[in-house]
Chain A
């Protein structure tokens, strides 16, 4: 169910990005291909997940939509592709432990000594979601994605403080840290990685993206005036 929902949203959003200026126009074009003057490539299929298992996908989507709700500024986290970003990040070299020193012995250490778990980000996510859902079931009788907004908020707040005793003994703070890091990256990274669809987060900020020849702009926008950013992504220039 989760996948189907994402697929439809992705279809609409991607069609909007590829075909026309607004989502509405894109939907009309898709509904009546005969009216389209210029042949268009078909929209990409539903992105799907390559790492996340169904219950994991439900957890990640719930986190994304809770942290990034739909409002006047952007679509929801899932609609921005942030869950897809997280999935791809965990399947990537980074998720599998590239550049991470993974030799023992393993000690807890002090907070100043940083990350000291024997797990890659992907392993940490997997173990963390299982334990978080077990905690939620024990406390509230249901998995995280089925909690009320208030319950989700309370759980994530406690997790961020390292104050949740997860049943498998996983320290909750590093689990929260990897969630928060990847959700923020998914929202603000270049769309080429699956999140920040339609450069929505860049538009929200006014960040112009990768096209930045500002030798003239630094003289013009030099008095408190806002630069009118029209964000450009890696794909736009490739």
Chain B
């Protein structure tokens, strides 16, 4: 029998970027707020100090900061014809766990998704006609516009200390930035990072070919920085231990050094770590949440936390899992196409190639998370005609290796043996002379790609694992092919001594790391029959539940997701504070 705790006003599930943002915005209301985080506490001095944090084996190989798959994981399969089996260890993607969530181990790349993505269905119908969109691709507009999000993108960039260069200031194209970005009200808070040699070669070659290279924006502070909340960030040291690690210099914009400590200054905000939420509890009507049920992981005790308002801020996939476990919204059925929860699961496509330059040394270890030179000519560039190529979506192309950590980073030319003296020679040479170019491609929804509860496998608390049914489709293959051609063209223009072969992704495998950009499953929209939440991230079905995170994305862009994850969270939290709390009903 679960022990029932005294009621709070608001319970927030998860303390990463979205939970931290929600607690930061709602803390000053004075309402009693409990934040339940399933993992443990984290602090820079205790968890990310040098030299221990610079341990590739512990953090990059053994995933010390990530979700523990022995406790909870996903089952995976490519199609419904297969039986889903557990992802027994991490590979393809790396959700975080503990205070700060994935926001402590991310690289920092921050993009503003604009109407290219937010109005994607309307755009394609206008440009190519309805028949251009494949029948199995339930493309959707998001129900918000770039103009709605611009102030919140700005807010996040200034909170997280994003380094970058504006490309479009109030409609004026600014040299050095991304000329295809949507208009911004002001520049980034910090100047761009220093390009390394590989970035410069890429930018020169891309520019000669008529593309528009820029230093991409990232939450790695190019200078010491104090954010609007007075939180201090150090200067990035280009140490090459960024993604999969925490930053000892506090130079990476992360929730545990920005929004979370500010939120916790409010005595009415209480953070409970090791608190594993199992479901949202509903009243007998099934239309109203009355709180959450959770387990104190350290004692095993089952608890109930009553609350007037529940805000789900777990990793996007875990938000969907909680909705399915709680019976909120109608689960998606791929046979009929009916139902919403679990639909529109999307991932990340792309292509990449490695080129070798015998006469150059790239010093790959002098680098940082989001450092890179990129082009956006094949994504937000509306003049790029997809018609002849036959795909929906786009891709960015970049030179941006974030590190030279030697367990995982050992590029060698094709045909190199995997061991022995010849392998060593090629490894020693390739380490300094290799340069990779990658394309990140958007990922469109498909009727066959979805999330559901697994009928067989269970987590440590006896609950069904979430089942992921996903594969790349023809649209992804067409995009990867074209991205490969662009990569080859730029690579060739750089004059390597050995060309690389651009390869895309065929069938999705859970084994090699690809991207922690898992989107969809509880999508936003304007039609309750076609979406899980409205534009304010509010559940259509249970209106005192809000669901913040990439779970709300109706498709995945070529851009990294944290920008809109944070912007939508700010916008939702402000709407809760300014409107919902005064009149707790469906926000319009």
Partners in one complex: yes
Residues of A whose CB lies within 8 Å of any CB of B are: 66-69, 71, 73-74, 94, 97-103, 105, 107, 109-116, 156, 160, 180, 183-185, 188-190, 192-193, 201-202, 204-215, 217-219, 221-227, 229, 232-234, 236-238
Q: A185-B57, A212-B237 are in contact. Are A100 and B424 (CB under 8 A)?
A: no
Q: Is the CB of A99 within 8 A of B87?
A: no
**B330 beta carbon closer than 8 Å to chain A:** no
Contact A107 to B235, CB < 8 A, known contacts A99-B62, A100-B69, A114-B511: no
> Is the Cβ of A113 less than 8 Å from the Cβ of B365?
no
Q: Is B86 a contact of A101 with CB atoms below 8 Å?
A: yes
Give Cα distance in the complex from A98 to B69, angstroms.
Answer: 9
A144 to chain B, nearest CB (A): 15
User: With a CB–CB cut-off of 8 A, which chain A residues contact B405?
Assistant: 207
Contact partners of A229 in chain B: CB under 8 A: 365
A224→B359 contact, CB < 8 A = yes
Q: Cβ of A107: which chain B residues have Cβ within 8 Å of it?
A: 83, 85
Within 108-143 of B, Cβ neighbours of A (below 8 Å) are at none
Report whether A74 and B424 are in contact in the complex, using a CB–CB cutoff of 8 Å. yes
What are 30 A-B contacts defined by CB distance under 8 Å?
A: A73-B425, A98-B70, A101-B87, A102-B70, A103-B86, A107-B83, A109-B85, A112-B76, A113-B76, A114-B509, A116-B85, A116-B88, A185-B57, A204-B428, A205-B431, A206-B431, A207-B431, A208-B365, A212-B54, A212-B366, A214-B239, A218-B196, A218-B366, A222-B194, A224-B361, A226-B432, A227-B365, A229-B365, A234-B52, A238-B51
A184–B88 touching, CB < 8 Å: no
Minimal Cβ-Cβ distance residue in B for A153:
B420
Task: Given A103-B458, A107-B85, A234-B55, verify A218-B238 contact (CB < 8 Å).
Answer: yes
Q: From residue 429 to 466 of chain B, which have CB atoms closer than 8 A to chain A?
A: 431-432, 456-458
Residues of B within 8 A of A100 (CB): 69-70, 88-89
B162 to chain A, nearest CB (A): 18
Q: In the complex, which residues of chain A have a beta carbon less than 8 angstroms from the beta carbon of B195?
A: 222
In the complex the two chains form, is B62's CB within 8 Å of A207's CB? no
B510 interfacial by beta-carbon distance below 8 Å = yes
The answer on a CB contact under 8 Å between A213 and B457 is no
Partner of A215, one of B62, B235, B432: B235
Are the C-beta atoms of A114 and B421 separated by less than 8 Å? no
Contacts of A237 in B (CB 8 A): 50-51
Residues B404 and A184 in contact, CB atoms below 8 Å apart: no
Residues of A within 8 A of B365 (CB): 207-208, 212, 214, 227, 229
From A73, A114, A192, A227, give the contact of B366 (CB < 8 A). A227
| Interface flag for B571 (CB, 8 Å) | no
* Beyond A71-B421, A98-B70, A110-B78, 5 additional pairs, beta carbon < 8 A: A67-B420, A105-B456, A110-B82, A114-B89, A218-B194
Say how far B101's CB is from chain A's closest CB, in angstroms: 17
Pairwise interchain contact B85-A213, C-beta atoms closer than 8 A: no
CA distance A232 to B68 in the complex (A): 30
Residues of B within 8 A of A209 (CB): 54
Interface pair B509/A212, CB less than 8 Å apart: no
List the 8 shortest-distance A-B pairs measured between CB atoms, nearest first: A210-B54, A226-B361, A67-B419, A212-B239, A214-B238, A224-B360, A237-B51, A112-B509
CA distance A202 to B432 in the complex (A): 12
Flag if B69 contacts A101 (CB, 8 Å): yes
CB neighbors of A among B44-61 (8 A): 50-52, 54-57, 61
Chain B residues with Cβ below 8 Å from A238 are: 51
Binding site for A on B (CB under 8 A): 50-52, 54-57, 61-63, 68-70, 73, 76-78, 82-83, 85-91, 194-197, 200, 235-241, 357, 359-363, 365-367, 404-407, 410, 418-421, 424-425, 427-428, 431-432, 456-458, 507-511
A206→B406 CA distance, assembly (Å): 10
Q: Which residues of B contact A69 (CB under 8 A)?
A: 420-421
- Residues from chain A with a CB closer than 8 A to the CB of B428 are 73, 204-205
B240 CB to nearest chain A CB (Å): 6
A149's closest neighbor in chain B, by CB?
Answer: B420
Q: In the complex, which residues of chain B have a beta carbon less than 8 angstroms from the beta carbon of A234?
A: 51-52, 54-55
Are A207 and B404 closer than 8 Å at their CB atoms?
A: yes
A99-B68 in contact given A115-B88, A207-B406, A214-B238 (Cβ < 8 Å): yes
- Closest CB-CB distance, B432 to chain A, in whole Å? 6
**A74 → chain B, closest Cβ, in Å?**
7
CB pair B421–A73 under 8 Å, yes or no, is yes
A233 to B56, CA, bound (A): 11
Shortest B190–chain A CB gap in Å is: 13
A208 to B56, CA, bound (A): 13
Determine which of A115, A217, A227 lies in contact with B89 in the assembled complex, contact meaning CB atoms within 8 Å: A115
Which chain A residues lie closer than 8 Å to B366 at the CB level? 212, 214, 217-218, 221, 227
Chain B residues, Cβ within 8 Å of A101: 69-70, 73, 86-89
Do A227 and B238 touch (CB < 8 A)?
no
A61 to chain B, nearest CB (A): 15
Other-chain contact of A206, B68, B432, B508 (Cβ < 8 Å): B432
In the bound complex, what is the Cα–Cα distance between A201 and B68 (angstroms)?
30
- Complex partner residue of B457 from A71, A103, A225, CB under 8 angstroms: A103
Nearest CB in chain A: distance from B177 CB, A: 21
Residues of the A chain whose Cβ atoms lie less than 8 Å from the Cβ of B200: 222
> CA of A206 to CA of B430 in the docked complex: distance in angstroms?
11
A208 to B432, CA, bound (A): 12
Q: How far is A114 from B91 in the complex, measured between Cα atoms in Å?
A: 9
- In the bound complex, residues from chain B placing their C-beta under 8 Å from that of A97 are 70
Distance of A4 Cα from B558 Cα, bound (Å): 57
- Separation of A188 and B61 alpha carbons in the complex (Å): 12
Known: A114-B91, A234-B51. A215 touches B424 (CB 8 A): no
CB distance from B61 to the nearest CB of A (A): 6
Q: Bound complex: CA of A210 vs CA of B371, how far in Å?
A: 19
The residue in chain B whose Cβ has the minimal distance to the Cβ of A190 is B55
CA distance in complex: A204, B426 (Å): 11
Nearest CB on B from A123, distance (A): 14
Complex contacts, A202 vs chain B, CB 8 Å: 406
With A69-B420, A73-B421, A112-B508 as contacts: A99 and B89 at CB distance below 8 Å: yes
Q: Once the chains are docked, how many angstroms separate the CA of A185 from the CA of B405?
A: 11
Contact of A210 among B51, B410, B421, B457 (CB under 8 A): B51
Which residues of chain B are near A208, meaning CB under 8 Å?
365
Please give the distance in Å from A203's CB to the nearest CB on chain B. Answer: 10
B419 and A68 within 8 A (CB) = yes
B83 touches A224 (CB 8 A): no
